[in-house]
Amino acid sequence: MKTADLYIRVSTDEQADKGYSQRDQDERIRTYCEKKNIQSRKVVFEDYSAKTFNRPEWTELFADWKKNKGKQTDYVIFTKWDRFSRNTADAYTMIRTLKTLDIEPIAIDQPLDLSVPESKMILTVYLSTPEVENDRRALNVFYGLRRARKEGRWTGMALPGYINRTRENGTKYIAIHKPEASHMKWAFEMIAKNQYAIEHIWAMAKERGLRCTRTCFWTAIRNPCYCGKIVIPAFKEEERFLTNGLHEPLISVHLFYEVQDVLDNKRRKIGLKAVQTDNLPLRGFLICPSCNRQLTGSASKGRNSYHYYYHCKYPCKIRFNAREGK
């Protein structure tokens, strides 16, 4: 008697919309096996997208096949080819790989004899149709988001100083979020004065209460969203441009471009000062004994308190405990 592993897959969205889908697939595949006198070995339930084969349950099942090549399973059975894959190139590669493991994939609702060359033409249709649907859906989302940006709507996660909100009619927008907004406004004003290094301004803003990583901060201060503008990226023949946003600006356009001039080194620096704090009094004054660069400092959160360290920048790994250095 031939044996088979039953592969039952739905995407997260499908499971939310059609909670019966997995049970329905399971019942129909089992019925098929009974009629064909095939013994089921494993039943695998997957709740993951089929855009790639990088899926948790499939990966585990495939590892089992490789470990027991040709010993336990003759078929992998599913309902339709879009349950197997929604990527034509990946699907053909996987089919060839399964052949080397002596495993035949079977779609009970779209049966094909893969030993017949002409069947590959029909298989291409079965595999490419869901892939085209995915690409069309993604393109529709892209055009929808681009249209929203052109109308002045912010379409992503809110930047530090703003918060995502939803109106009663379901439309989404961003609103100024205090006290984060005041910390970001202060940071822009400090950068425009051109008296401190950006790293130090970020550190001071964090001490004031700003919750923002270093990378996030550098990205944020480059975004014209803060002066009420929305970036429309270049696309095909259309060049990149800015449009007026529907949200409330946090700073003036003049201040935003003053900051950009500082970041682009278009304004002469006025002897950048090192920032001292009670916990890192020597930040900006110590020199790395390994690479001779200026040491900076930061805090690491422990279980009950923060621990402060002087350290060099990547890739240098020099690091000192600030308390032990006092």
What 171-178 contacts at long range (C-beta under 8 Å, 24+ apart), as own/partner pairs, is 173/246, 173/247, 174/247, 175/247, 175/248, 176/248, 176/250
> Higher pLDDT residue, 291 or 182?
182
**Can you tell me the mean pLDDT for 175-198?**
93
Region 248-259: what's the mean pLDDT?
Answer: 94
- Quote the pLDDT of residue 16: 43
Is the predicted pLDDT of residue 259 greater than 60, yes or no? yes
pLDDT confidence band for 61 (50 / 70 / 90): very high
**Strand ranges in 37-138 using DSSP code E only, listed in sequence order:** 38-47, 75-78, 104-107
**How far is CA 54 from each of CA 51, 59, 62, rounded to the nearest angstrom?**
9, 7, 11
Reported as a single tens digit per residue, the pLDDT across 66-82 is 988 767 899 999 999 98
What confidence score (pLDDT) does residue 184 get? 95
Tokens representing 20 are 């019966």
Q: What is the pLDDT of residue 326?
A: 44
Residues pairing with 194 in the sheet? none
CA distances to 194, 195, 232, 292, 301 from 271, rounded to whole Å, are 9, 7, 36, 20, 32
- Condensed to tens digits (0 to 9), the pLDDT of residues 15-37 reads 545 555 888 899 999 999 999 99
If you average pLDDT over every residue of the chain, what do you get? 87
In this predicted structure, what is the pLDDT of residue 274?
Answer: 47
**Average pLDDT value for residue range 229-240:** 91
